[in-house]
Amino acid sequence: MSSKERPTLGGTRIKTRKRNIAAPLDPAAFSDAVVQIYLDNAGDLELVAKNIESSELNFSRYGDTFFEVVFTGGRTQPGTTKPDEGEHHPYSIIDCEPTREGILPSVIYIQKILRRRPFLIKNLENVTRRFLQSLELFDENERKKLAIFTALAFSQKLSGLPPETVFQPLLKDNLVGKGLVLTFITDFFKEYLVENSLDDLIAILKRGKMEDNLLDFFPSSKRTAEAFSEHFTNAGLLPLVEYNEKKIFEVKVKEMKSALTTQISDEADIAEVVETVKHHMKEAKLPEVEVVRLLWDVIMDAVQWSGKNQQHNANAALRQVKTWAALLNTFCTSGKLELELMYKIQIQCYDDTKLMKLFPEIVRSLYDLDVLAEDTILYWFSKGTNPKGRQTFVKALEPLVKWLEEAEEED
């Protein structure tokens, strides 16, 4: 045997190690095959779905291409929405009428496909996200169709399509700046609210992390509460306007409460606190009644309560009332506001066991400090309408009322 020859085992076959050879990608052929199914069935989506289900096409590999065919009628060029070379059909979502009736069958059709092939939901997300990020490449009519489709997809609960797939891709500066996003989202809202409640819409916005950021859909020059109200009022979406105004109001009230809590806890000068209240009243357009209720909450929240020492709690609460009586007096400027303050005290004393027995003492203290007038107390006693603990509190207030009535007779 030559020294160059390699030794072998007699009768043993040497196997060559095979390498993993990936099958070449051929999305064009896949696209043409799907298009042919549409054409063979003249766009009848029931028949198309049945033929899709019975086909042996490789959907796991070409899921994105499949949804391109569904949306645009054929395969699109990479990174664009422009049709690529190859077969196309005229039964796509983009070719439908821009109406609910025209697009709903496509949503139901996709739902059927996803039930059989749930792994395709990720491909639907991919294509949806890509098309929404390319809104400027569609014309106005096509953008409306996409908005209607997306709204119907959520309305029909299309196999868990996540809201962030829709809302987050829209927030591209160039799309927002051109007003394309605002038009799209307006069409989306209008269509979704046809069969769903505002609460349902808010739930979707919350899941999409947009509930508190609705102004982000507006161009930066129009990102104001006034522009929001005007735009959606003109679009016939008044419930959404009212919801947003309520949200803004709640935020401003929270800011006011936070500022006052800090000042009262730090025992700031009353004049300074009064100015803070007036500033926030103007800023939030806060009704006087709400101011009185809020002031009482803030004053009581600042009390240093003791765990089980009832006498300590009573002394602390009454001391707080006396300290801030002048603040209450500044804003209790009418009998109606004084009565609202009494109702507020009644409710808190009923709800908080620490204050249950303090109701008559608090009322007497506020009377002595000129916050509550005699007529207000007598009116509450005889005609008060809030039922919470009323019988108990009326009985507890009888000595004060009797004293007031006797003093009035003497006068």
Instruction: State the pLDDT confidence band at 355, using cuts at 50, 70 and 90.
Output: confident
pLDDT value at residue 21? 39
The mean per-residue pLDDT over the stretch 404-410 comes to 76
Condensed to tens digits (0 to 9), the pLDDT of residues 268-304 reads 999 999 999 999 999 888 899 999 999 999 999 988 8
- SS3 for 332? coil
Instruction: State the pLDDT confidence band at 122, using cuts at 50, 70 and 90.
Output: very high
- Residue 209 tokens read as 């992390």
The mean per-residue pLDDT over the stretch 358-381 comes to 95
Question: Which is more confident, 261 or 407?
Answer: 261
pLDDT value at residue 159? 62
pLDDT value at residue 68? 94
Q: Tokens 């409710």 sit at which residue?
A: 347
Gap between the Cα atoms of 151 and 128, Å rounded: 12
pLDDT value at residue 279? 93
pLDDT value at residue 161? 75
Q: Structurally, what CATH architecture does the domain formed by 27-237 represent? A: Alpha Horseshoe (1.25)
The pTM of this model reads 0.75
The mean per-residue pLDDT over the stretch 18-43 comes to 78
pLDDT value at residue 22? 42
Which residues, including other chains, have CB under 8 Å from residue 330's CB and lie 6 or more apart? 274, 277
Q: Percentage of the chain surpassing pLDDT 90? A: 72
pLDDT beyond 50 at 351: yes
pLDDT value at residue 410? 64
CATH code 1.25.40.180 region(s) in the chain: 288-410
pLDDT value at residue 314? 87
pLDDT value at residue 96? 93
Cα four-point dihedral sign 367, 368, 371, 374: positive
List beta partners, residue 179: none
Gap between the Cα atoms of 54 and 361, Å rounded: 82
Instruction: State the pLDDT confidence band at 20, using cuts at 50, 70 and 90.
Output: very low
Phi, psi for 237 (deg, rounded to 5)? -110, 55
pLDDT beyond 70 at 114: yes
Phi, psi for 76 (deg, rounded to 5)? -105, 155
pLDDT beyond 90 at 44: yes
Q: Which fold has domain 288-410?
A: 1.25.40
The mean per-residue pLDDT over the stretch 105-121 comes to 93
pLDDT beyond 90 at 227: yes
Mean pLDDT score across all residues of the chain: 89
Instruction: State the pLDDT confidence band at 244, using cuts at 50, 70 and 90.
Output: very high
pLDDT value at residue 156? 84
Instruction: State the pLDDT confidence band at 9, using cuts at 50, 70 and 90.
Output: very low
Min mean pLDDT across 82-86, 388-392, 399-403 is at 82-86
Gap between the Cα atoms of 191 and 187, Å rounded: 6
- SS3 for 267? coil
Gap between the Cα atoms of 222 and 317, Å rounded: 48
pLDDT value at residue 16? 43
Question: Which is more confident, 371 or 6?
Answer: 371
pLDDT beyond 50 at 312: yes
